[in-house]
Amino acid sequence: MSGTVIVGAQWGDEGKGKVVDLLAERFEIVARYQGGSNAGHTVVVGEETFKFRLLPSGILDPDKLCVLGNGVVLDPATLCGELEELERRGRSTAGLRISGNAHLVMPWHQILDAQSEVQLGPLQIGTTKRGIGPAYADKAARIGIRVQDVLDRNILREKVDAALELKNQQLERIYGLEPLDGATLLADLERFARRLEPYIADTAKLLDDALRAGRPVLFEGAQGTLLDLDHGTYPFVTSSNPVAGGACTGSGVGPTMITSVIGVAKAYLTRVGSGPFPSEADPERGDRLREIGAEFGTVTGRERRCGWLDLVGLKFAARVNGMTELILTKLDVLSSFETIPVCTAYRLRDGLVTSDFPPHQSDFHHATGVFEELPGWGADISGVTSFADLPSAARDYVRWVEERMELPVSLVGVGPRRDQMLVPDRVGVA
Ligand code: IMP
């Protein structure tokens, strides 16, 4: 059995899509297990750029099955749009399988997401406003509408009517908005149902069967560890479990099916939305990182906050995910910096310096980074095609991270293309 999880080791946007696209050739199935159209993957293949929100990045390989697991919340309009766009560009979508247990993101979820942010005012989370939190809230409250519901008109009508009764009250009475029209909603859903029906399958069984037959499966996490609902920097988190454990609940395979967990981290750090960020760079260098790294959200276009690699957060991510290896992306973005700060510990309010991720939010909210400065390499590395040809300071940076993390770094990214991922020569790693 060979189940591998790819998990974001930071606050999302680590470049997981590109990594999945690259590794997908070793796997027969790629499965997404959580999140929804709050995610944004950019994959560059040759001269072509693809941007996905819902589809697993593996969809570009026509020989693969791509699963949207039960843990995903699915906006049918976005999904249908992505399928149409791919087909327009001559790509097959025949390999897609969608769990009937996945929940649908409905128009009221998006409206309520935006309204709740307005209501939170200065305490707002900075969500992507894609309806993700409200959709998972309805799932937990057991009033969600699932993919399988669209297969039966009567059930669908019953569920939409029941949900609308409640949601329209909320929209009208709490937010003073116009109610949503049930007939229009149902008509849209029926159109989506016809488009999506051929892809709906018992994906948990499909994955288990595949793993038992020795066919390797790649589980693709969206967002990142620090955005995890349980383990992330709550309340500034998403409403699902990106951590590797989420691959089991979000896809329906048992934990013994997972044999390796690959963490993906940028060689520096970014965060979208609100919340503490102990290794955030000063404005001048933050702007430089953003500009060179093109750090603007794929989904929202928002500027990402930029900072330095945070080993405290990364070690925490290694622990909660049971990481077996690490992939570092975007090393090239650091090339123009004379020295490169790395956050190795946090200084807490009481002056205590710790390399453990604080278990209490107030400590984390007031933590400031303690940095070590590593030498830069002062040369463009985006054209380098083998790890051995990197400047020694760039190789040392990677090795230093390996040693501190006690984890092998199995790939290093120096640019967005598939051929810009370098395989480090192995050095003494624990
Ligand atoms: P939500 O997932 O839209 O509810 O947003 C909750 C938090 O997660 C916000 O801080 C978002 O900026 C963040 N977030 C959600 N998806 C992503 C992502 O794919 N990359 C980075 N941040 C994300």
pLDDT tens per residue, range 179-237: 999 999 999 999 999 999 999 999 999 999 999 999 999 999 999 999 999 999 999 99
CA of 429 to the centre of ligand 1 (A): 33
CA of 338 to the centre of ligand 1 (A): 32
Q: Which residues contact 403 (CB under 8 A, 6 or more apart)?
A: 429
Q: Is the pLDDT of residue 17 over 90?
A: no
Task: Tell me the average pLDDT across 52-72.
Answer: 92
Residue 12 in contact with ligand 1 by CB distance below 6 A? yes
- Write the residue with the smallest CA distance to atom 20 of ligand 1: 12
SS3 73: strand
CA of 384 to the centre of ligand 1 (A): 33
Single-letter amino acid, residue 353:
V
Q: Tell me, what's the pLDDT at 43? A: 77
Question: Which of ligand 1's atoms lies nearest the C-alpha of 300?
Answer: 12
Residue 127 in contact with ligand 1 by CB distance below 6 A? yes
Task: Tell me the average pLDDT across 64-86.
Answer: 97
Q: Which residues contact 248 (CB under 8 A, 6 or more apart)?
A: 254, 255, 257, 258
Q: Is the pLDDT of residue 58 over 90?
A: no
Higher pLDDT, 300 or 166: 166
Residue 369 in contact with ligand 1 by CB distance below 6 A? no
**Among 54-58, 178-182, 244-248, 252-256, which is the least confidently predicted range?**
54-58
**Among 5-14, 38-47, 109-118, 141-150, which is the least confidently predicted range?**
38-47
What is the Cα–Cα distance from 341 to 38, expressed in whole angstroms? Answer: 30
CA of 127 to the centre of ligand 1 (A): 5
CA atoms within 13 A on the CB side of 32: 31
- Write the residue with the smallest CA distance to atom 8 of ligand 1: 238
Q: Which residues contact 65 (CB under 8 A, 6 or more apart)?
A: 28, 29, 30, 95, 96, 97, 206, 210
Question: Which of ligand 1's atoms lies nearest the C-alpha of 129?
Answer: 3
Q: By percentage, how much of the chain surpasses pLDDT 90?
A: 88
What is the Cα–Cα distance from 348 to 333, expressed in whole angstroms? Answer: 30
Higher pLDDT, 246 or 50: 246
Confidence of residue 61 (pLDDT cuts 50, 70, 90): confident
Confidence of residue 428 (pLDDT cuts 50, 70, 90): very low
Q: Tell me, what's the pLDDT at 341? A: 98
**Among 44-48, 81-85, 228-232, which is the least confidently predicted range?**
44-48
Q: Is the pLDDT of residue 353 over 60?
A: yes
Q: Is the pLDDT of residue 262 over 50?
A: yes
Residue 321 in contact with ligand 1 by CB distance below 6 A? no
From 14, 127, 136, mutation site for ligand 1 pocket: most ligand atoms within 8 A of C-beta: 127
Mean pLDDT of the chain: 94
Residue 130 in contact with ligand 1 by CB distance below 6 A? yes
The set of catalytic residues is 13, 41
Residue 272 in contact with ligand 1 by CB distance below 6 A? yes
What is the Cα–Cα distance from 199 to 415, expressed in whole angstroms? Answer: 34
Residue 39 in contact with ligand 1 by CB distance below 6 A? yes
Residue 40 in contact with ligand 1 by CB distance below 6 A? yes
Question: Which of ligand 1's atoms lies nearest the C-alpha of 270?
Answer: 21
Higher pLDDT, 273 or 168: 168
- Write the residue with the smallest CA distance to atom 21 of ligand 1: 12
Q: pTM for this structure?
A: 0.95
Bridging pattern class, strands 305-308 and 268-271: antiparallel
Question: Which of ligand 1's atoms lies nearest the C-alpha of 13?
Answer: 20
Residue 53 in contact with ligand 1 by CB distance below 6 A? no
Residue 38 in contact with ligand 1 by CB distance below 6 A? yes
From 130, 227, 229, mutation site for ligand 1 pocket: most ligand atoms within 8 A of C-beta: 227
Q: Tell me, what's the pLDDT at 430? A: 36
Residue 233 in contact with ligand 1 by CB distance below 6 A? no
279-326 confidence digits (pLDDT tens): 999 999 999 999 999 999 877 788 999 999 999 999 999 999 999 999
What is the Cα–Cα distance from 362 to 286, expressed in whole angstroms? Answer: 25
- Write the residue with the smallest CA distance to atom 16 of ligand 1: 38
Q: Tell me, what's the pLDDT at 206? A: 98
Q: By percentage, how much of the chain surpasses pLDDT 70?
A: 99
Q: Tell me, what's the pLDDT at 429? A: 39
φ/ψ bin of 322: left (φ > 0), alpha (ψ from -120 to 50), beta (otherwise): left
Please name the residue that has the structure tokens 């990142």. Answer: 224
- Write the residue with the smallest CA distance to atom 2 of ligand 1: 238
Task: Tell me the average pLDDT across 400-412.
Answer: 97
CA of 396 to the centre of ligand 1 (A): 32
Q: Tell me, what's the pLDDT at 426? A: 60
